[in-house]
Amino acid sequence: MSVTDEAARTSHYERIGGASAVRAAVEVFYERVLGDAELAGYFAAVDMAGQRRHLALMLTVVLGGPNEYTGRSLAEAHQPLRIPVEHYAMVGGHLVATLTALGVPADVLTHVRAVLAQVRDQVVADGGAGA
């Protein structure tokens, strides 16, 4: 069996180290986002422990791990926040930079970028600039 065949059968979630790697990524990601003056305000009144759990569950699903997410849909959670496309791009940039810094392989980063592109319209405010 070649390395390519083995990688094809192993989920991105397993390849990056499973739950512990996802938790580490979530911690670093929120350090970055909460340290960003343009984005921190979105989280001022948010239960960050709960927020971290939700993101870990969602990131687990995105990476092909077990689907245990039972929270609100992306649109339900984000549309009321009226998030402009620029802020969505900044958050996505923080996520990709976090994963890159943690040594996540390029093909997994490509997958994450593709998912971010697919769900953008569920998160960005209706009629957001630069659509």
Q: Is 83 helix (H, G, I), strand (E, B) or coil?
A: strand
Position 131 in a domain:
no
Residue 130 inside a domain? The answer is no
Establish if 43 belongs to a structural domain.
yes
Q: Which of 10, 34, 22 is nearest to 104 (CA)?
A: 22
Indicate whether 26 belongs to any domain: yes
Tokens of 54: 């939700």
The whole-number pLDDT of residue 128 equals 43
Q: Is residue 129 situated within a structural domain?
A: no
Residue 93 lies in a domain: yes
Q: What are the per-10-residue average pLDDT scores of the chain (131 residues)?
A: 58 96 98 97 95 96 93 90 95 98 97 96 71 36
Q: Is 128 part of a structural domain of the chain?
A: no
Domain count for the chain, please give it.
1
Q: What CATH code is carried by the domain that includes residue 52? A: 1.10.490.10
Query: Does residue 12 form part of some domain?
Result: yes
Q: Residue 118 belongs to what domain range?
A: 3-123
Q: Please say whether the beta carbons of 71 and 54 come within 8 A.
A: yes
As given in the structure block, the two tokens for residue 32 are 């970055």
What does residue 84 show for φ and ψ, rounded to 5 degrees? -75, 160
Q: What is the pLDDT of residue 47?
A: 96
DSSP summary character for residue 129: T
DSSP string computed for 17-82: THHHHHHHHHHHHHHHHHT-TTTGGGGTTS-HHHHHHHHHHHHHHHTT------S--HHHHHGGGT
